[in-house]
Amino acid sequence: MAPVTLRHVKKSYGDAAVIHGVDIDIADGEFVVLVGPSGCGKSTLLRMVAGLETITDGEISIGPRVVNELDPKDRDIAMVFQNYALYPHMTVETNMGFSLEHRGASKAEITERVNWAADILGLVPLLKRYPRQLSGGQRQRVAMGRAIVRNPQVFLFDEPLSNLDAKLRVVMRGEIKSLHQRLGVTTIYVTHDQVEAMTMADKIVVLNAGKVEQIGAPLDLYDRPINQFVAGFIGSPSMNFIGGQITPDGFAAAGITLPLPPGLAPGNAVYGIRPEHFELSPAGVAATVLLVEPMGSETQVTMTLGEHQAIGVFRERVKASPGETIIVRPDPANVHLFDTTTGARIN
């Protein structure tokens, strides 16, 4: 186990800069998720930690060592890839023990470590099978097993669940988190799926265009996003945004006035409200229903507020049809306001 530190890390391909001076502190044993849209640089950052990409500038430390010039094999890390990267001609047992064999470990040690990892991951009945005889979830477990037999200081996961179906992703998400809680190994996990980030991370790093937008605990980012980008990226369905003006009577937008928390200076702003922070209330504003989607325990409603389209998620079972009117009210205690020019949070 070891902390990982990135200081002013940059990466360029020729004249094209893709990582712009990233600073991240990852504590010993912490589970950190790098999240952001496609092309934001999260996989490039992970590969630089692994030593699979060179660093243009800055410094990466694993434990007390600066690893900029170290080969991947000397960094004491283990990486789990999106495509599993299993050897098709080897059994599960041989796949899991190959890295130990390559390092000159004894057969007894290899057998002991492989059996230990297989027991943790429920792979004991599958040790004599080949990758072609396994399901996607089983192959991912083997890839994880191959990583943990090495007892590394740091685990690196590069979108490991993206090839799995939705139901299996949920199962494997829990297994990876459970594995981390059991082993306590420092883990850096890359995903574009913010639901994975919210449910798995001790700390989330939100990246955008090669820069860190915000770092924090999942609920801190959810409750207090630092800017409009983070607010829109974290949460599903996404936060609703409405442009308008802060006035003494509320937030004035085209065709509507919405409630505000007290003490705000007048001026232009972007009004943000999460779908679950709408309520059905006669004290609200009229909304025209566009689409009603019953989800079982809640109902998702796409609607228009004045000239603005929004999504509301209600615990009640909304029995309205498209074209009908419902009265909704945003909870002013959960309103987020952003600068119209910079996108920075202003409340």
| Residue 156 in tokens | 């690196």
Asked if the model's pLDDT at residue 1 lies above 80, the reply is no
In this structure, what are the phi and psi dihedrals at residue 162, rounded to the nearest 5 degrees?
A: -70, -20
CB 203 within 8 A of CB 3: no
Q: How far apart are CA 112 and CA 96, in angstroms?
A: 11
Contacts with 313 (C-beta within 8 Å, 6 or more apart), sequence order: 237, 275, 276, 278, 295, 298, 299, 300, 301
Q: How far apart are CA 64 and CA 227, in angstroms?
A: 34
| Residue 143 in tokens | 């890839």
Q: What is the mean pLDDT of residues 136-163?
A: 90
Identify the sign of the CA torsion 130, 136, 141, 144.
Answer: positive
Q: How far apart are CA 6 and CA 20, in angstroms?
A: 12
Residues 229-254: pLDDT tens digits? 999 999 989 999 999 999 999 999 99
Alpha helices in the chain (DSSP H): 42-50, 92-102, 107-121, 136-148, 166-183, 194-200, 218-223, 228-233
CB 314 within 8 A of CB 301: yes
CB 269 within 8 A of CB 245: yes
Residues 10-67: pLDDT tens digits? 999 999 999 999 999 999 999 999 999 999 999 999 999 999 999 999 999 999 999 9
Confidence at residue 162, expressed as pLDDT on a 0 to 100 scale: 85
The residue to which tokens 């369905």 are assigned = 237
Q: State the pTM of this model.
A: 0.90
- Tell me how far apart the terminal alpha carbons of the chain are, to the nearest angstrom: 39
Q: For the CA atoms of the chain, what is the radius of gyration?
A: 24
> 341 pLDDT band (50/70/90 cuts)?
very high
Q: What is the mean pLDDT of residues 286-293?
A: 96
Confidence at residue 103, expressed as pLDDT on a 0 to 100 scale: 84
Q: How far apart are CA 338 and CA 118, in angstroms?
A: 50
For residue 334, the 8-state DSSP code is G
Asked if the model's pLDDT at residue 104 lies above 90, the reply is no
Confidence at residue 278, expressed as pLDDT on a 0 to 100 scale: 97
Asked if the model's pLDDT at residue 70 lies above 90, the reply is yes
Confidence at residue 23, expressed as pLDDT on a 0 to 100 scale: 98
CB 184 within 8 A of CB 30: no
Q: How far apart are CA 48 and CA 53, in angstroms?
A: 5
For residue 297, the 8-state DSSP code is S
Q: What is the mean pLDDT of residues 261-265?
A: 91
